[in-house]
Structure 1
Amino acid sequence: MGQAFFLVWPIPNTDWETICKFQLDITLTEISHAIVCAPKLKIKIKKIQLVQPDQIRIYVDKDKDDEEVAVFPGIKINLQGYSQIARAVINDEKGKKQLLIEGYGLRYVMNTKGVVGEKRYTNHVMEMKDVLRIEAARNSIINEINTTMTSHGMNIDPRHMMLLGDVMTYKGEILGITRFGVAKMRDSVLMLESFEK
């Protein structure tokens, strides 16, 4: 059975100056691994061959559909990074720089080389609970209430925010202040009767 092959290195539409500027260490081995991991391609590692220092050869069977082979050049592959993160922005506030990330993946960010994991934070309360457990989720609730209220010029006694965080998390899960969340508490008659069913 005959085989057709495609050369995919150097990859078109790649800004290699930017890659060098950000000091990303991308090798042919990492690219071939990313191609194997791409779910749409379904290419096995034995079909990939490193030909020269700057070329990868991928063998595709000729008996495959022409449509499947035609789609191959247009597929985007993540070479490095985390697929759950949509974008990243550097925020410069009064000389203090922060990297703000949009998306999910707190556990992966905390384990990234060069990142101080103890100083990472997300405003996604459920992810805080999954990664750092319920106490971190409680602190996240308190911080988010405080941030929201102070940005609108309202000052609330911290004890009220702490009480709300405690009520939402004291069962070991995050319960909303809704009729469904309060109904799961089932401990306080006064609390239950304040919400109509």
Structure 2
Amino acid sequence: MGFFDVFKKRKPEMTQVPHATGESRAAAAAPIDYSPLIEMAAIISNGDSKVATDITLLATDSAAFSAQHREWLADFGYETDEALGPEEIRDIFAYWLVGYETPFEYGAYIDWKEAPEEITAQLDAALEKLGYPLTTAEIAIEETGTSDDTMAALSAISNLCEMSGFALAILDTESDSYHLFIVPAESYGRLVALADSLDYRVYSAD
């Protein structure tokens, strides 16, 4: 079973949201400005112009993004004829940059209980693509076969990044998995603030 198949197996079912009525319907109809995603993508991808094009389309015209990537969205269980909600746009943003059947791979997707060597392998592939002078393979974790290994690895990687002028950023997708990105330390606070402006959460492993 490949990475893509594992993800599809793990992907939770999307829940139905009750229709809003009265004043709540009017509030729900107010458009959301997703433009902060564009700067977030630039920080995560170290200014990749193709990422900028794709995420700009997602942020400014999600219907056009859906039309352009209909097959990709269908593979992940999205109804391409329906409008994308805030959580769906957040998740698509994460999937696109981590490299779920996309060419980017600027981060890592890991389960809540992932072996440290799998975490470092994914992150080091991202670091090489980003061109950053850092490797996470040097962290030493005594594995116990439990979820404690994952948290110990994330903490060790976070500390290593901090000592090297970088930061480990985790984008919360409200699931039992982690989407990890390594960004310049001076950009981490801005990334957190941009995510917060969309009611998304970016946090560290510390």
User: TM over 0.5: same fold?
Assistant: no
Higher helix share: 2
Higher strand share: 1
State the TM-score, normalizing by the size of structure 1. Answer: 0.27
State the TM-score, normalizing by the size of structure 2. Answer: 0.26
Name which one, 1 or 2, has greater alpha-carbon Rg.
1
Which has the higher relative contact order, 1 or 2, with Cα contacts under 8 A spaced 6 or more apart? 2
